[in-house]
Structure 1
């Protein structure tokens, strides 16, 4: 049996492990945390959103970043302190601007396929994850943002996504809890939401039932390529171990760049911090005042999801500030303020703040497929669409490994 090591037990690693195990591979997963999905997969916006497949590689993003450079509560914040990593990433980001339309269409196609795989995996394992299949509603207050949304909609349509343009009255009718004026919106009925952490934890249990071995609280100290596979050295609870594997899949989020360098590959991931608050809906008034339809405010870069009766997740912003997980109040406050503007009857007294590092490549496309050496594979760099794309890229990764195994056996 082919033995594969998966590095990382976030949503991408867990989904990759499951996709491989259900095809008969012997899989071992390594993660430095005590449980699955404890970092970027812990408290994201909760959306499975093909409607958010637009990549950021356009001049408008650059101009907004420059305009907001010194504004601490800006939706997009770039720390002006230079570093070679940041500068090289931004140069490559600008180099990908000509691919904006093609990459948006390709991401849309992948997101649509991935949503179907995710639901398939959930049904197989019996995962309950506070799923709400009520669609995602993009709302707009500025005409310029709404006009841009119409242009984006043409690209999403090329990728196979059906969205409905709504008037301001139709927006209000779709989500009556909304308490701020809009000029219109776009509604994607096929998108949905859920609790990413709950999904990943339950899927990890499904992996275990298929025979996947998990090495938690483990530090991989060395990766040595043997010519056809890899040999891993790791430490766990003070003990050192070593084992050979037929292949390795790097799903380590923002840690993938350093691991790739050990394997002779360049995977130029930069950590882009995002924040969320989970509003605990402790009273009947707040429960009634919070929306059930998932929202996306393109101008503020805020997304929402209703996680059952008692929780309301609000997430967003993008911060280029290195490998920094500090939770800053000046970045959390805009999320609270947004809630109080759009849903003033929701009590924000009890909010749980969180921050995570999105693994972003300059192209805004995930790195999926083989590395430069036999037996080395990547499934990483999903950026702001980690959960949305994870099941699709896991299937693609398993397809590539299947193909290589058949070629080697021939």
Structure 2
């Protein structure tokens, strides 16, 4: 019997929504992707740190995170900043975060496995669709200024190795050989040769064009007002009053997934954790020569870097728990610029483009991928700081969940008793 393909609505045109639509379209489903902006990848998938970093798979549910959060609470330029003003959402999120501390080890290993598995799909899709996204496969170097940070990294490396990711310790001399432009004094580092970087926005936009070639309908410039499902048919109401119906709906709406999930009867404790980035424009030959080629992660300042082509240098990081706030604060951008001036003094920071985005973070630090309470409702959201890194594998998993549900539906129809005569 020929497989009947589904009509599927995907809500959200960021990296997870576009990869989900692409994976479903490759299975032959008729997909409509709804995105409120004019183009895909215009919010959190616009200007992140650029790292495809399995080596950054360590989850945050470690006791040290709470200690640092309390210590830095009143420091405006701290890497981790928590607005002390309480809200029920924030309190419930941190309560659930603490219950996941005992799962730190298992969740770190699981995240590493996902990140390694994601590479094959993402690179394969980019090659097949001819997407140029400034891919640079020169590894990621984690840098440490003291013994305590370096020793902790050694323990993390054991967990990453269990998840299938080898990385090696390097001396300060070896660090300078790996990235000669890096200035400063360091205790040591860890280098992951298999990691890479790229421009998430260019990839997301390129894959959205590939989606259209596969028959996906992109409804950009439309916001979702309501979504509901009876388990058989899903109905999505747009802000202009138009109602779209489908066999299934997939919620990939980032930090807005919590509200949409509530309409569908599901609890998704996704919290918006703001991150900042600067894109340093390398407008002269001296800056281009002085900027690093190898991607870096500074564990002390929680900053990551990526070189995007010849003339852009991205620096990103920090975590701010401040609700749905997208203000670009000067006191949060200044440390990023100062870091560039300190570590790469030959790079001109005369022209810097600041940006802020809201990471959709689950308390477990693992994404929510799979079915909801209603049989035809699915989720692919809550990727936190690793949305770019994990997007391809979770989209692949999502397509498998939809296929399993479709097979169950087909089997149910086959075993239904014949009507009485």
Q: Indicate the TM-score class for this superposition, using the shorter chain for normalisation.
A: over 0.9
**Offset of 1:241 from its aligned partner?**
1.5
Matches within 5 A, 1:356-367: 356-367=357-368
1:285 lines up with 2:286 in the alignment: yes
1:82 lines up with 2:86 in the alignment: yes
Q: Distance in 2 between matches of 1:168 and 1:219?
A: 50
Q: Distance in 2 between matches of 1:188 and 1:229?
A: 46
Q: In 1, are the aligned partners of 2:226 and 2:260 still within 8 Å (CA)?
A: no
Q: Distance in 1 between matches of 2:333 and 2:14?
A: 24
Q: Distance in 1 between matches of 2:244 and 2:79?
A: 45
Q: Distance in 1 between matches of 2:292 and 2:244?
A: 50
Q: Over alpha carbons, which structure has the higher Rg?
A: 2
Matches within 5 A, 1:100-111: 100-111=104-115
Gap regions ≥5 residues in structure 2: 412-421
Runs of 4+ in structure 1 deviating by more than 4 angstroms, as ranges, are none
1:218-247 deviation per Cα after TM superposition (whole angstroms, max 9, x unaligned) = 121221213312111113xxx431121100
Q: In 2, are the aligned partners of 1:163 and 1:189 still within 8 Å (CA)?
A: yes
Gap regions ≥5 residues in structure 1: none
Equivalent residue, structure 2, for 1:14? 18
SS of alignment partner, residue 218 of structure 1: coil
**Offset of 1:124 from its aligned partner?**
1.4
Equivalent residue, structure 2, for 1:346? 347
1:317 lines up with 2:318 in the alignment: yes
**Offset of 1:281 from its aligned partner?**
0.2
Equivalent residue, structure 2, for 1:249? 250
Equivalent residue, structure 1, for 2:308? 307
SS of alignment partner, residue 130 of structure 1: coil
TM-score by length of 1: 0.98
SS of alignment partner, residue 123 of structure 1: helix
Q: Distance in 2 between matches of 1:327 and 1:234?
A: 29
Equivalent residue, structure 1, for 2:197? 193
1:342-368 deviation per Cα after TM superposition (whole angstroms, max 9, x unaligned) = 101100010000000000000000000
May I ask how many residue pairs the two structures share in their alignment? 407
Q: 1:131 aligns with which of 128, 135, 138?
A: 135
**Offset of 1:59 from its aligned partner?**
0.5
Q: In 1, are the aligned partners of 2:141 and 2:296 still within 8 Å (CA)?
A: yes
Q: 2:44 aligns with which of 40, 48, 57?
A: 40
Q: Distance in 1 between matches of 2:174 and 2:76?
A: 34
Q: In 2, are the aligned partners of 1:229 and 1:374 still within 8 Å (CA)?
A: no
Considering only aligned residues, what root-mean-square deviation do their CA atoms show, in Å?
A: 0.7
TM-score by length of 2: 0.96
Q: In 2, are the aligned partners of 1:103 and 1:365 still within 8 Å (CA)?
A: yes
1:160 lines up with 2:164 in the alignment: yes
**Offset of 1:183 from its aligned partner?**
1.2
**Offset of 1:278 from its aligned partner?**
0.1
1:372 lines up with 2:373 in the alignment: yes
Q: In 2, are the aligned partners of 1:136 and 1:192 still within 8 Å (CA)?
A: yes
Q: In 2, are the aligned partners of 1:168 and 1:182 still within 8 Å (CA)?
A: yes
Equivalent residue, structure 1, for 2:419? none
